[in-house]
Amino acid sequence: MQERQLIGFACAYTPLVLLQAARFTPYRILPIGEAPDRAGSILHDNLCPHVKRILDRALADDLPELAGVVFMNSCDAMRRLHDGWGAARPRDRRILLDLPMEAGEAAVDYFASELKRLGRTLGEWGGAALGESAVAASAECYGKLYGLLEEASRLAARGKLDGGSAKLQELFNLSVTRPPQEASSVLEQAISEAPSASGGLDGRVPILIFGNVMPDPQAFSLFEECGVRVVCDDLCTASRMHAPATLPAGENYLQALARSILSRPRCARMLDPATPGALAKDVARRARESGARGVIAHVVKFCDPYLGRMPAVRDELRSTGFALLVLEGDCTMRSLEQHRTRIEAFVEMLR
Amino acid sequence: VRGTKTTVLVNYFDELAAGLGEKIRQAKDGEVARRRFALEIARLGRRLFSGEDKVAWCGVLAPFDLLNAMGVTSCFVEFVGAILASSGNVAALLEEAEHAGYSTDGCSYHRAVIGAALRGLMPRPDFLVATSAPCTGGVGLLENLARHFRKKIFLLTLPQSNGERGAAYLAAQIEKMVEFVSAQTGRQLDPERLRRAIEYTNEARALMAEAYELARAVPSPVRSRDLKNFGVVMALFLGTEAAVEISRTYRDEFAMRCERARHNPPPPRLRLLWIQNRIQFKSPLVSLLEREYDADVITDELNAITWEPLDPDDPYTSLARRMLSIPFLGPIEHRIEELKKLAKSYRVDGAINPCHWGCRQGTGARGLVEAGLKEIGVPVLNLEVDCVDPRNFSEGQLRTRLEAFIEMIGQSRRN
């Protein structure tokens, strides 16, 4: 079977269901690889390394053939990535989609109209016309993938996934760079090979990893080497990449999709006006529910949404009795390796 | 009065206002526009800190004329950061925020405000209004302030496009905001008061446009400090008589200077465009430009009028359209086009871009802004500077770069 064309994307809020329904394969351009550091010639060096490393890949042509790139207007850095992409690869087709910051009805309506605009654009890029049945089929396909990733995450948290949390991250990366059906098959295989006996904690300390971008499986190997058992994650390159999209009968499918995307576990760029500081409460709740003994926050440098919320997260975790270790990184293992001693000390403190 | 610390600030603004009023009365040369503008800032400061008014801390793009019409003294929080920097007392507040865990890589306007709030120097507002643009960092700041003050926050999400769909979405949110403000203040919006506010806004807009038209003259009547922070702060006075009076004073003063120059032409000077924020603390850069390099900043990006007069019969939609006309939304092409228009219409020789550390939205695309202006022959000097935090200000380094830049544009002008 002929492989579908790829559509590049960079933000976890990208509506993968629509890309797949239009008969493209979503391809997340992850900030990994060895592309030379050149993004500063287009954007300022004070932009987040996630965005700069993706632009480095574009400048180095370290990408597969893409039919187009979908950018989300999710934060200043992502908007600038859209702009920088135009300079780096002016012939690429690209679209910048608005993403409301909250999930009220007006926001859902507006975002649904943005999804409609995306659907038209995908058609212009050679995609299939979008209809309710195609979108429902795609949502089901991603729903299955989401369920499998959840299962794999549970196994990894109990020490039963062969390869541990590094393997889990490989699977997360696969789920956004390969067709969802293929990723599901690989996941089914990995899950079926899981030993029936629980690995237990093996002396490791249960930790919630929270933050934004950390796609390199080696990062998780490092955590495990330091004595961490990742029992839950809240990262935009891991569990936050997928959320189930339910399309209830009687509701416009784009509305339903918009609602599900806006209501998924939040990135720090979202604001719940009814609950200022909601992100911090979410982190504490997830730590409690997952049985974590502490929280490691990994935030890429210059990420305003996360850096601005870290004091609130620290306050909330302190008041709920969870220890917190904050690591700033630049999406490279080099930066994370520098924190090895701190991670080891943090784990030691929690034993 | 809300507390001893804020009382000190009220006294400061009272003294400032009294001093400025006296200077305006004594001015014999008719040059009072900047002081009149500063006087209104002092009055606003007093209202914000006195505890006598309903107060809202807001995002930069909130519809202040609407809030003024509802009897709410409102202000974008970055204004406080700028005031603190210009007062010379910002370093301790930045440190306060940093000790509380706010990163030095973030925007120092925002850190200064958080530091002030933590020290009890920010008055407790009645409510907050966040705007999703121009920057995501600003939303985080307002969320943190809402948490700190335990006050309700309303969010206005600005879409990137000024088309029908985007304007309708934002207009509906503005209408909801009016309900929210009424619920917080117990005050209903009086349609007549709104109509009058819109008339004031439109009158001020027309006068500002006249002042800017005069500013485009060669030689320009504008000196580098005349319009510092003007457009962005004037937004706070829109919908009031004060906005009309300030705009008229500027228009008249520029007209007077143009007339003087017609009779007694001054020697030619370099004409500069300032991109985004001015440096808010005391620094010698502008003096250097004026005195040593015969150069004036005659226009600021943030002063541009990008919006049409408001429609009193459709206020929410026209307010939405104004908010969405700001070139900081959406793709950078829009902003670059606006900068090109400014540079051409003011016939500038060069542009200065103080790349405010911590500003992703403004500074982030500096390479693209530079390339865009280069297309029309306008060189850009990108300075590595923090517009609020004076602690790392490197005068010598900046002086060298400024000197080289001015030399370069002077030479290309001679050629």
For residue A198, what pLDDT is reported? Answer: 65
Asked if B365 is an interface residue toward chain A (Cβ–Cβ < 8 A), one would say yes
A211: which residues sit within 8 A by CB, 6+ positions away?
A: A234, A235, A297, A298, A299, A300, A306
Do the chains contact at B102 and A311, CB–CB below 8 Å?
yes
B contacts of A281 (beta carbons < 8 Å): none
Peptide bond into B312 cis (omega under 30): no
Q: ∠ CA B130-B135-B139 to the nearest 5 degrees?
A: 30
Do the chains contact at B159 and A96, CB–CB below 8 Å?
no
B333: nearest CA partner in chain A: A83
Do the chains contact at A79 and B155, CB–CB below 8 Å?
no
- Nearest CB partner across the interface for B364, out of A44, A110, A309: A44
B contacts of A98 (beta carbons < 8 Å): 159-161, 166
What HEC string does chain A produce?
A: CCCCCEEEECCCCCCHHHHHHCCCEEEECCCCCCCCCCHHHCCCCCCCHHHHHHHHHHHCCCCCCEEEEEEEECCHHHHHHHHHHHHHCCCCCEEEEECCCCCCHHHHHHHHHHHHHHHHHHHHCCCCCCCHHHHHHHHHHHHHHHHHHHHHHHHHHCCCCCCHHHHHHHHHHHHCCCCHHHHHHHHHHHHHCCCCCCCCCCCCEEEEEEECCCCCHHHHHHHHHCCEEEEEEECCCCHHHCCCCCCCCCCCHHHHHHHHHHCCCCCCCCCCCCCCCHHHHHHHHHHHHHCCCEEEEEEECCCHHHHHHHHHHHHHHHHHCCEEEEEEECCCHHHHHCCHHHHHHHHHHHC
- Tokens representing A225? 């080497």
Asked if B107 is an interface residue toward chain A (Cβ–Cβ < 8 A), one would say yes
The percent of residues above 90 in pLDDT, for chain A, comes to 90
Asked if B367 is an interface residue toward chain A (Cβ–Cβ < 8 A), one would say yes
Distance in angstroms (rounded) separating the CA atoms of residues A50 and B132: 21
| Nearest alpha carbon to residue B378 among B266, B301, B325 | B301
- Nearest CB partner across the interface for B332, out of A40, A83, A307: A83
Q: How many CB atoms lie within 10 A of CB A33?
A: 13
Which residues on neighbouring strands pair with residue B353, listed in sequence order? B382
| Nearest alpha carbon to residue B158 among A100, A102, A76 | A100
B contacts of A266 (beta carbons < 8 Å): none
Cβ–Cβ under 8 Å, residues A338 and B171: no
- Tell me the average pLDDT of chain A: 95
Cβ–Cβ under 8 Å, residues A230 and A347: no
Which of A44, A314, A325 should be substituted to probe chain B, the one whose Cβ sees the most B Cβ atoms within 10 Å? A44
- Nearest CB partner across the interface for A46, out of B135, B360, B368: B360
For residue B1, what pLDDT is reported? Answer: 37
B357: which residues sit within 8 A by CB, 6+ positions away?
A: A46, B105, B108, B363, B384, B385, B386, B389
Q: How many CB atoms lie within 10 A of CB A3?
A: 9
Asked if B387 is an interface residue toward chain A (Cβ–Cβ < 8 A), one would say no
Rounded mean pLDDT, A185-189: 98
Do the chains contact at A46 and B135, CB–CB below 8 Å?
no
- Element at B18 (helix H, strand E): helix B4-26
A contacts of B366 (beta carbons < 8 Å): 43-44
A contacts of B173 (beta carbons < 8 Å): 106
Do the chains contact at B161 and A98, CB–CB below 8 Å?
yes
Which of B114, B141, B156, B157 should be substituted to probe chain A, the one whose Cβ sees the most A Cβ atoms within 10 Å? B157
pLDDT tens sequence across A98-122: 999 999 999 999 999 999 999 999 9
Distance in angstroms (rounded) separating the CA atoms of residues B213 and A252: 51
* Ranges of chain B with pLDDT below 70: 1-4
Sequence-distant contacts of B15-20: CB under 8 A, at least 24 apart:
B16/B42, B16/B45, B17/B42, B17/B43, B17/B46
Residue scoring higher pLDDT (A207 or B394): A207
pLDDT tens sequence across B143-166: 999 999 999 999 999 999 878 999
Which of B96, B102, B148, B155 should be substituted to probe chain A, the one whose Cβ sees the most A Cβ atoms within 10 Å? B155
- Element at B385 (helix H, strand E): strand B380-385
A52: nearest CA partner in chain B: B364
| Nearest alpha carbon to residue B222 among B253, B260, B248, B265 | B253
The percent of residues above 70 in pLDDT, for chain A, comes to 98
Size of interface A-B (CB pairs under 8 A): 146
- Nearest CB partner across the interface for A43, out of B136, B165, B364: B364
B216: which residues sit within 8 A by CB, 6+ positions away?
A: B345, B346, B347
Do the chains contact at B165 and A113, CB–CB below 8 Å?
yes
- Nearest CB partner across the interface for B330, out of A48, A87, A96: A96
HSE (side-chain half, CA atoms, 13 Å) at A240:
24
Please tell me the pTM assigned to this model: 0.96
Cβ–Cβ under 8 Å, residues B246 and B231: no
pLDDT tens sequence across B230-247: 999 999 999 999 999 999
| Nearest alpha carbon to residue B271 among B395, B144, B410, B159 | B410
A316: nearest CA partner in chain B: B147
Which residues on neighbouring strands pair with residue A26, listed in sequence order? A7
Tell me the nearest-neighbour CA distance from A238 into chain B, angstroms: 23
Asked if B183 is an interface residue toward chain A (Cβ–Cβ < 8 A), one would say no
Do the chains contact at B105 and A273, CB–CB below 8 Å?
no
| Backbone Cα Rg of chain A | 20
Distances (CA, A) of A305 to A244, A335, B36, B341: 24, 20, 38, 33
Do the chains contact at A43 and B358, CB–CB below 8 Å?
no
Rounded mean pLDDT, A262-284: 96
Which ranges of B132-240 would DSSP assign to H, the alpha helix?
A: 136-149, 164-185, 191-215, 230-237
For residue A195, what pLDDT is reported? Answer: 82
Tell me the nearest-neighbour CA distance from B18 into chain A, angstroms: 38
Rounded mean pLDDT, A283-287: 97
**pLDDT above 90: residue A196:** no
- Nearest CB partner across the interface for B368, out of A83, A100, A268: A83
Which of A254, A272, A304 should be substituted to probe chain B, the one whose Cβ sees the most B Cβ atoms within 10 Å? A304
